[in-house]
Amino acid sequence: MTELMHDHLPIHLTNLAKRYGNIYRLKCGNTTMIVLNSSDIIREALVKKWSDFAGRAVSYTADIVSGGGRNISLGDYTEEWKALRRLVHGALQRCCKHSLHNVIERQALQLRKVLVDYRGGAVDLSEDFTVAASNVIITLVFGKEYDKSSSELQQLHRCLNEIVALWGSTWISALDTFPLLRKFPNPVFSRLLREVSRRDEIIRKHLNQFKSEGHRRTDVITGSLLEGVDRHQTEPGVVLTDMHVHMATVDLLIGGSETTAAWLNWTVAFLLHRPEFQTKVYEELCTVLEGRYPKYSDRQRLPILCSLIHEVLRLRPVAPLAVPHKAIRDSSIAGYFIPRNTIIIPNLFGAHHDPEVWSDPYSFKPERFLEGGGGSTRALIPFGGGARLCLGETVAKMELFLFTAYLLRDFCFVLPDSEAPLPDLRGVASVVLKIKSFTVIARPRTGP
């Protein structure tokens, strides 16, 4: 248990790999955990042998957060889960094909306006990044968007932020490993229960409002999901309910806002450490695009920008330990026997800092992904893999590309003054790896 109580667990588990190798076992009460620390071993488990390791541990706290396992991220690998994933995947694909590019472009231009309005003042951009990312997923899910001052949006952010932060707490995971602790007062768990209740109230209100409008907009994810649930209720086999739609919506909102916003903060922070790389990206955008804003289809023509995105994804995968998997049958990884019900922790952070794969792995060097740089995108696994591959991978990749391109085309990010310290790059690790808050000046470019 003590091995899991470190304040930055991804770094600690990566350091243990230096001592014990890229696959090792932790015993925690009656639970056996296997930590995987290289991309090859993680791919073997999650992709090559996905059907052996597609499960999720059923736990006391996970059931509370996931409405009894009725969501994608924490639900166990059952026929019900597979039906829900197919439904959500289909709804996401339809809506993304219909409007994703335009939705992201609109939010990127809105973000540009917000930054211009700061008039060169030193600000913490984390909230602005969260609003921009949230509005992308909220527009896709509910067909509406908010501005920064919206109390409804702020309430939803606070609530989801708290749940993500509390969920990563040792005080919470201890309740799963040592059931006896559930009989004692636990202020952290009490806070989690309050936030889950508040979250459900907000989502329920949105869903009821959507249903009361009477027409089903299938170009919006919620409408597509509700229609799919109605269809499932008339078919034999698995029954999906409005609760599945509720929990799938929670998954999409958390996955589509906290992660993208965290990544944009990391990008600005790393660029403050190497400001000359901002100039390289800016010059590439000006030269290749001749002054216009980029489209996602331009990405093959912008290798410097893409190398920046790959390097930040490598150094700071926003879900550094993914979500633990479970062996649903006896199997093996890297030649070791893995019994059924073993918990598998894919340490994406460790795989992305593996010195056998990456030269100078802890340094920010986007040029490693340029021709002749020695870096391979195949060794990157920021979205996991196999049956549990992040549902929002398509949305995330387009967001990261377009937001980064728009920001670096129109702004140069600089420290508030020459004496100001550079952002601390260690980060705060929970389910999502976030940077400690810092201030920056977004200085408008004079024009391409």
Are 415 and 272 in contact by the 8 Å Cβ rule? The answer is yes
Tokens for 368, please give them.
């490693």
pLDDT in the model for residue 210 = 83
* Amino acid 80: pLDDT: 92
Token reading at 342: 């073993």
Q: Is the dihedral of CA 201, 203, 204, 210 positive or negative?
A: positive
Alpha-carbon distance 349 to 353, whole Å? Answer: 6
26 forms bridges with which residues in the sheet? 33
Any idea what DSSP says for residue 386? G
| Domains detected in the chain | 2-444 (1.10.630.10)
Q: What is the pLDDT of residue 448?
A: 47
Q: How far apart are CA 324 and CA 231, in angstroms?
A: 32
Cα 395 to Cα 133: distance, rounded to the nearest angstrom: 10
Shortest CA distance to 192 belongs to which of 159, 225, 216? 159
Question: In angstroms, rounded to a whole number, what is the distance separating the alpha carbons of residues 231 and 171?
Answer: 41
User: What integer pLDDT is reported at residue 233 of this predicted model?
Assistant: 66
User: Closest Cα partner for 95 from 206, 225, 212?
Assistant: 225
* Two structure tokens written together for 318: 């926003």
Strand pairing category for 343-346 and 336-338: unpaired
For the ranges 98-102, 106-110, 176-180, 252-256, the maximum mean pLDDT occurs at: 106-110
* Span 387-431, pLDDT tens digits: 999 989 999 999 999 999 999 999 999 999 988 999 999 999 888
CA dist 119 and 121 (Å) reads 6
Indicate whether 236 pLDDT > 80.
no
pLDDT of residue 258: 85
* 412 annotated to a ligand binding site: no
Helix axes 126-142, 242-273, angle to 10 degrees: 150
d(C-alpha 266, C-alpha 263), whole Å: 5
Assigned token pair, 306: 């893409």
Note the pLDDT tens digit of each residue in 1-35: 778 778 899 999 999 999 999 999 999 878 899 99
Q: Work out the number of other CB atoms within 10 angstroms of the CB of residue 166.
A: 22
Please state whether beta strands 331-333 and 336-338 pair in parallel, antiparallel, or not at all (unpaired): antiparallel
Reported as a single tens digit per residue, the pLDDT across 338-371 is: 999 999 999 999 999 999 999 999 999 999 999 9
Stretch among 67-71, 105-109, 368-372 having the lowest mean pLDDT: 67-71
Q: Looking at residue 235, what is its pLDDT?
A: 62
Query: Whole-angstrom Cα distance, residue 102 to residue 43?
Result: 34
- H-only helix segments in 72-218: 79-117, 126-142, 151-167, 170-177, 187-212
Tens digit of pLDDT for each residue in 371-386?
Answer: 999 999 999 999 999 9
Report residue 116 as tokens.
Answer: 């211009």
pLDDT over 90 at 59, yes or no? no
The CA radius of gyration of the chain, in Å to the nearest whole number, is 22
pLDDT score for 158: 86
Q: Return the pLDDT at 216.
A: 65
Mean pLDDT for all residues in the chain: 92
Q: Of 316, 335, 337, which Cα lies nearest the Cα of 327?
A: 337
CA distance 45 to 41: 6
**Ranges assigned E (strand) in 8-49:** 23-28, 31-36
Q: Do residues 247 and 67 make contact, with C-beta atoms less than 8 angstroms apart?
A: yes
Question: Where does residue 333 rank: exposed (0-12), middle (13-18), buried (19+ CB within 10 A)?
Answer: buried
Residue 395's Cβ-count burial label (10 Å; 0-12, 13-18, 19+) is buried
Three-class DSSP category at 447: coil
Portion of the chain with pLDDT greater than 90, in percent:
73
The average pLDDT across 330-342 equals: 97
